[in-house]
C-alpha cells in the first residue's frame, strides 16, 4: 500500500503548497533571516545577500542533494561575529522517482537525520562528544516525501574543517572521528533515559528485521548501480553490504539481547 499511496500522492493528487522552500534556490533572504534570527534570539541584523553553491552532481548523494549558502549580513552589535556566515541545505533529489520516494517513506531517512541533528547539534562547544551541525529547520511533505533540512555549516566553527573525499581522508582525521564516535556510543550505552529522546532511531526489533529484508534488500542493488555510475569504488563495500542483506535480520536478534547505544548510521568520508 505504501507504493500505491505514494504513486497517488505524486501523480494524481496535488499536495497543498508548503509554507517553506523545498529547494535551496527557493530560499529567500527574508525567509532565512526570519528563521536564523528567531533561532538565535536576535532582531537587529539584516541579510544583504545570499550566494548559493552546490557540489558537482557526481559528488552528490543518491537520495538527496546539498548546497552551501554563503550569507552576507548588515548591522552592528556584540553578536555580529556569532551570526552564521554559511549554512548547508539538504533536500530531496529532483531526480527521485517513485521507487526512491517509497524508500524515503519506509525508512524515514529525512526524519532520522533531522532527529539526530536536533539531539546532538544543540551546542557550539568544540569539546562536545560529537561535532554535529545545529539544526535550523526541517520540513517535509509526507505525501511526496519532499523535504528540506537547513543546518549549520560546521566550517563556521573551524575553518580547517573540510568535507572529506573518497580516498583522500587523512588517517589522523579518521582517528579523530572514531574517538568522537566512541564517546557518543559511551554516552548512550545501556541508558534507557537517553533513548527517550531517540524515537527517530530504529532499534533492533521486528520492524528493523523487516526493514533489512525489504527496503535494504531492494535498495542495495540499486545503490551499487548508482555508485558505479558515479565512479565510486563499490568493491570496497560490496561484500559488507551483501552480508548485511544476507544476515542483518539475525544480527537484530543478537543486538536486541544486549545494551543499546546510538550510532551515526551514515559514517563515510564525504559525510564527516
Q: Per the domain annotation, does 59 fall within a domain? A: yes
- β-partners of residue 100 are none
Count CB-CB contacts under 10 A for residue 101: 22
Is the model's pLDDT at 126 over the cut of 50? no
Model confidence band, residue 146 (pLDDT cutoffs 50, 70, 90): confident
Q: Per the domain annotation, does 108 fall within a domain? A: yes
Q: Per the domain annotation, does 196 fall within a domain? A: no
pLDDT at 136: 94
Window from 97-101, 122-126, 151-155, 208-212 with minimum mean pLDDT: 122-126
Is the model's pLDDT at 161 over the cut of 70? no
User: Mean pLDDT, to the nearest integer, of 231-253?
Assistant: 77
Closest CA to 92 of 114, 118, 121, 70: 114
Extended beta strands in 58-174, E state: 64-74, 86-92, 135-141, 146-152
pLDDT at 235: 79
- Residue pair 23/91 in contact (Cβ under 8 Å)? The answer is yes
- Hunting for cell 552592528 — which residue is that? 76
DSSP state at residue 76? -
Task: Read off φ and ψ for residue 154, nearest 5 degrees.
Answer: -60, -20
Q: Per the domain annotation, does 39 fall within a domain? A: yes
pLDDT in tens, 214-233: 677 777 887 888 778 777 77
pLDDT at 1: 47
Looking at per-residue confidence, does 201 or 70 come out higher?
A: 70
Number of independent structural domains in the chain: 1
Model confidence band, residue 237 (pLDDT cutoffs 50, 70, 90): confident
Q: Is 49 left (phi over 0), alpha (psi -120 to 50) or beta?
A: beta
Percent of the residues in the chain that have a pLDDT greater than 90, as a whole number: 18
Percent of the residues in the chain that have a pLDDT greater than 70, as a whole number: 76
- Residue pair 231/188 in contact (Cβ under 8 Å)? The answer is no
Q: What angle do CA 175, 155, 25 make, to 5 degrees?
A: 130
Q: Per the domain annotation, does 1 fall within a domain? A: yes
- Residue pair 219/248 in contact (Cβ under 8 Å)? The answer is no
For the sheet with 146-152, list strands across it: 46-53, 64-74, 86-92, 146-152, 135-141
- Hunting for cell 539544526 — which residue is that? 135
pLDDT at 113: 85
pLDDT at 19: 85
Q: Per the domain annotation, does 221 fall within a domain? A: no
Is the model's pLDDT at 249 over the cut of 90? no
Q: Per the domain annotation, does 172 fall within a domain? A: no
pLDDT at 76: 83
Q: CATH code at 129?
A: 3.30.200.20
Count CB-CB contacts under 10 A for residue 148: 24
Provide the mean pLDDT of the chain: 78
pLDDT in tens, 57-107: 666 777 788 899 999 999 887 888 889 999 999 998 877 777 777 777 777
- Domain of residue 156, residue span: 1-161
What are the CA-CA distances from residue 86 to residues 44, 58, 93, 96 (Å)?
19, 22, 21, 27
What CA–CA distance (Å, rounded) separates 217 from 211? Answer: 8
Is the model's pLDDT at 25 over the cut of 80? yes
Window from 111-120, 145-154, 208-217, 238-247 with minimum mean pLDDT: 208-217
What CA–CA distance (Å, rounded) separates 189 from 161? Answer: 28
Q: Per the domain annotation, does 255 fall within a domain? A: no
Amino acid at each position: 500500500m505504501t507504493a500505491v499511496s505514494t504513486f497517488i500522492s505524486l501523480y494524481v493528487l496535488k499536495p497543498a503548497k508548503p509554507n517553506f522552500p523545498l529547494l535551496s534556490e527557493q530560499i529567500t533572504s527574508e525567509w532565512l533571516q526570519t528563521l536564523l534570527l528567531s533561532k538565535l534570539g536576535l532582531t537587529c541584523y539584516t541579510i544583504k545577500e545570499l550566494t548559493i553553491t552546490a557540489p558537482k552532481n557526481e559528488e552528490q548523494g543518491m537520495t538527496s542533494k546539498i548546497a552551501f549558502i554563503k550569507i552576507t549580513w548588515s548591522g552592528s552589535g556584540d553578536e555580529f561575529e556569532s551570526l552564521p556566515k554559511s549554512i548547508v541545505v539538504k533536500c530531496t533529489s529532483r531526480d527521485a522517482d517513485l521507487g526512491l520516494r517509497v524508500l524515503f517513506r519506509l525508512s524515514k531517512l529525512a526524519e532520522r537525520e533531522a532527529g539526530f541533528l536536533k539531539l546532538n547539534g544543540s551546542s557550539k562547544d568544540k569539546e562536545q562528544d560529537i561535532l554535529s551541525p545545529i539544526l535550523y529547520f526541517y520540513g517535509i511533505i509526507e505525501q511526496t516525501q519532499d523535504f528540506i533540512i537547513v543546518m549549520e555549516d560546521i566550517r563556521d566553527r573551524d575553518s580547517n574543517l573540510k568535507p572529506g573525499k573518497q580516498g583522500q581522508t587523512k588517517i589522523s582525521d579518521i582517528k579523530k572521528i572514531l574517538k568522537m564516535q566512541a564517546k557518543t556510543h559511551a554516552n548512550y550505552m545501556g541508558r534507557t533515559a537517553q533513548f527517550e529522546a531517540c524515537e527517530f532511531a530504529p532499534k533492533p526489533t521486528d520492524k528493523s528485521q523487516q526493514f533489512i529484508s525489504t527496503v535494504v534488500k531492494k535498495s542495495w542493488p540499486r545503490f551499487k548501480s548508482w555508485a558505479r555510475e558515479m565512479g565510486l569504488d563499490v568493491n570496497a563495500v560490496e561484500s559488507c553490504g551483501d552480508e548485511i542483506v544476507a544476515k542483518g535480520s539475525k544480527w537484530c536478534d543478537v543486538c536486541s539481547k544486549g545494551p543499546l547505544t546510538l550510532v551515526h548510521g551514515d559514517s563515510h568520508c564525504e559525510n564527516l
